């Protein structure tokens, strides 16, 4: 690659904490990298871990789930389920050789705009380190 590799990150944010946190980062004009693209879901508990797999398959170089801090879920328990599922999917993907740095989760509350910016930074850095995800990327060219 001539220019530096810019990883593409797909993030799933819960509406009540993390998405609001991301909005706060915006309102407070905290600059972060444009590599992260956000998909809004109502709760981190909604995130089917297969979404992560699917994103990687589509060619995302990294994925991120973010939800309310444990105990603060707007829906009481969603993030607890999300945590269990994530931990296992993380292990599973690691086992087939996906760089663990690509698969991320974070707790970001509605008041943690700054933390969201940091999370993005870290996620992008890890994905950069892991390099382009083309292990099992869907390759249109092959068609």
Q: Tokens 């810019």: give the residue.
A: 6
Binding other proteins (rule: CB under 8 A), the pick from 1, 4, 107, 124 is: 107
Residue 116, CA distances (Å) to 107, 127, 137 in order:
9, 16, 27
User: Under the criterion CB under 8 A, does residue 119 sit at the interface with other proteins?
Assistant: yes
First to last CA, the chain: 24
Find the binder of other proteins among 2, 3, 4, 29 (CB under 8 A).
29
Q: Is 81 in the site for other proteins (CB under 8 A)?
A: yes
Q: Is 32 in the site for other proteins (CB under 8 A)?
A: yes
The yes or no reply on residue 110 touching other proteins (CB under 8 A) is yes
Separation CA 80–CA 46 (nearest Å): 11
Nearest distance from C-beta of residue 18 to other proteins, angstroms: 11
């Amino acid at each position: 690659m001539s220019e530096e590799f810019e990883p593409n990150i797909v993030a799933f944010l819960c509406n009540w904490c993390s998405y609001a946190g991301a909005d706060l980062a915006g309102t407070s004009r905290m600059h972060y990298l444009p590599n992260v693209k956000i998909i809004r879901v109502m709760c981190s508990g909604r995130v089917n871990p297969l979404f992560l797999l699917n994103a990687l398959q589509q060619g995302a170089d990294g994925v991120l789930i973010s939800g309310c801090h444990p105990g603060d879920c707007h829906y009481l328990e969603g993030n607890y389920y999300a945590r269990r599922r994530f931990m296992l999917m993380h292990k599973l993907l690691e086992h087939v050789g996906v760089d663990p740095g690509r698969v991320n989760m974070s707790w970001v509350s509605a008041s943690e705009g700054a933390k969201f910016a940091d999370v993005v930074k870290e996620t992008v850095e890890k994905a950069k380190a892991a390099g382009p995800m083309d292990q099992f990327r869907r390759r249109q060219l092959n068609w």
